[in-house]
Amino acid sequence: MTKLDFLYTQTQLNEIANEIIHQAQQEGASDAQVELSESISTDIEVLNQEIENFETSHENQLLLTVYMGHKKGHIGISSIKLENSRELIRQALDIARYTEEDSANGLLEKEYIVTSLHEDLQLYAPYPINNSELITQTKELEQIALDMEALISVSDGASTTLTRYNFVTANSHGLNHGYQTSRYSKSLSLIGKNAQGMQTDYWYSSSRIFTNLSANDELAKKTVNRIKRRLNSGSYTSGKPAVIFESTIAKSIIGSLIGALSGGSLYRKLSFLNDSLGQQVLPDWFNMYEDPFVVHGLASCYFDNEGSVVARRTIIESGKIQGYFLSSYTARKMNMRSTGNAGGSHNIHVTPNHHGDLESLAREMQNGLIVIETIGHGLNMVTGDYSVGASALVVINGEISHFTDNLTIAGNMREILQQIALISDDTEFSSVNCGAMLINSGIIQVSVK
């Protein structure tokens, strides 16, 4: 990892990008945008103290979009050299000639393009670890877990990933900016066994800074505890109980909310939250905001994929929708302006209204289920109908009783959002920050397979 470095400086990428934009206009493009990027990634996977996979990759990419009026052509290759750039441009223009004209096509309006970068968000922190130490640490993570608990019979693998990214985005409206980022992660998957059978679970840690990853003993303990709670299994009967979504699942519920408020669904009228600006969609205590400028943030950025300025903003206030997630294209389709969300959302934060961990939230619920795993992607974005397979912990009289699986949970996402009773503050640093979520009874149908 330490021996590989980027082939290009930011200045070199700026110059190459400028030349490609210049060439594109010479070849007949009315406008053009190019993204040049390179990434260096090292991945190691260990199983039972043996190296299953160990690879380092260094990849380059050029993504070019050209416009001929309102016609658009897009092409990408795994090289950022200038030698064949004109041929690439001609191919993109040829694509544009055969596409249908769309009045919403075009570059981001000049007035929204970022002109200067925000204060240092510290998104790049290269870490000088050699291969030998990387192997040692990954093996150690697995071994600590196997030595920790007799019920943990087998490892299902430990892994570590280190990635560095270097890019520049430029267009014919004057944009030419870029920066470098890093991202590190490690994960552990285990198999537990007792007289009732075998169960598997995992946990992970992710950060912009390698030394901010969870310590091996901490990650191993978390994974072991997730397995142990599955090993005391029992039954459950169908019904419409109160349901807690563990924080990992609660984030996916918030992800569905973000998807419903995103331009791609909204302009096509394919969202269960069409025309919802100003509407009371969630409880009046519910607040959600977006912050692109979190230092070390996993979804922090200086500008979006089109070069738009980004800003801290409130998405939902007192349960009412205050904003959508729009690119320039989807904004034009809706006669609105870009919100700086080409490429997605930037660090979502849901304000909790309950202090405590999962057990504390279970005491508030008294009786019901804690969903700890879902299977499938069962959301109809148009109607909001939601149905997935699930595994859960059964709560009786405020205490976690046992584990149960082979469940199906179903409901309507709009009703689920309206009936959120509590959100805990047990979230971990993430791109979507939301703690465990309690849904009132009578909303989610639970069926036993």
Domain extent listing, the chain: 10-227, 232-449
56-78 burial code (b ≥16 CB/10 A, e <16): eeeebebbbbbbbeebbbebeee
296-334 burial code (b ≥16 CB/10 A, e <16): ebbbbbbbbbbbbbbeeeebbeebbbebbbbbbbbbbbe
Q: Which residues pair with 189 in a beta bridge?
A: 157, 202
pLDDT mean over 342-371: 96
Q: Report the pLDDT value the prediction gives residue 7, as an integer from 0 to 100.
A: 93
Contact call for residues 442 and 240 (beta carbons, < 8 A): yes
Cα 416 to its chain centre, rounded Å, is 22
Is the pLDDT confidence value at 441 over 70? yes
Element (H, E) at 15: helix 10-26
Please state, in angstroms and rounded to a whole number, the distance separating the CA atoms of residues 84 and 67: 19
Is the pLDDT confidence value at 298 over 50? yes
Q: How confident is the model at residue 428 (pLDDT cuts 50, 70, 90)?
A: confident
Q: What percent of the chain has pLDDT over 90?
A: 92
Q: Report the pLDDT value the prediction gives residue 250, as an integer from 0 to 100.
A: 96
Q: Is 252 exposed, middle or buried (0-12, 13-18, 19+ CB in 10 A)?
A: middle
Q: How confident is the model at residue 429 (pLDDT cuts 50, 70, 90)?
A: confident
Please state, in angstroms and rounded to a whole number, the distance separating the CA atoms of residues 95 and 75: 9
Q: How confident is the model at residue 89 (pLDDT cuts 50, 70, 90)?
A: very high
Please state, in angstroms and rounded to a whole number, the distance separating the CA atoms of residues 363 and 398: 4
Which pair of structure tokens corresponds to residue 214?
Answer: 């969870």
Q: Report the pLDDT value the prediction gives residue 444, as an integer from 0 to 100.
A: 97
The string of pLDDT tens digits covering residues 247-268 is: 999 999 999 999 999 999 999 9
Which pair of structure tokens corresponds to residue 438?
Answer: 């309690």
Is the pLDDT confidence value at 326 over 50? yes
Q: Report the pLDDT value the prediction gives residue 1, as an integer from 0 to 100.
A: 44
The string of pLDDT tens digits covering residues 146-198 is: 999 888 888 999 999 999 999 999 999 999 999 999 999 999 999 999 888 89
Contact call for residues 111 and 174 (beta carbons, < 8 A): no
Q: Report the pLDDT value the prediction gives residue 3, as an integer from 0 to 100.
A: 66
The CATH number corresponding to 10-227 among 3.30.1360.120, 3.30.70.20, 3.40.50.300, 3.30.2290.10 equals 3.30.2290.10
Q: Report the pLDDT value the prediction gives residue 422, as an integer from 0 to 100.
A: 97
Q: How confident is the model at residue 208 (pLDDT cuts 50, 70, 90)?
A: very high
Query: Taking the model in full, what pTM does it have?
Result: 0.93
Please state, in angstroms and rounded to a whole number, the distance separating the CA atoms of residues 445 and 439: 12
Please state, in angstroms and rounded to a whole number, the distance separating the CA atoms of residues 153 and 194: 9
Cα 74 to its chain centre, rounded Å, is 25
The string of pLDDT tens digits covering residues 90-141 is: 999 999 999 999 999 999 999 999 998 888 999 999 998 999 999 999 999 9
pLDDT mean over 84-93: 95
- Chain-wide mean pLDDT for the chain? 95
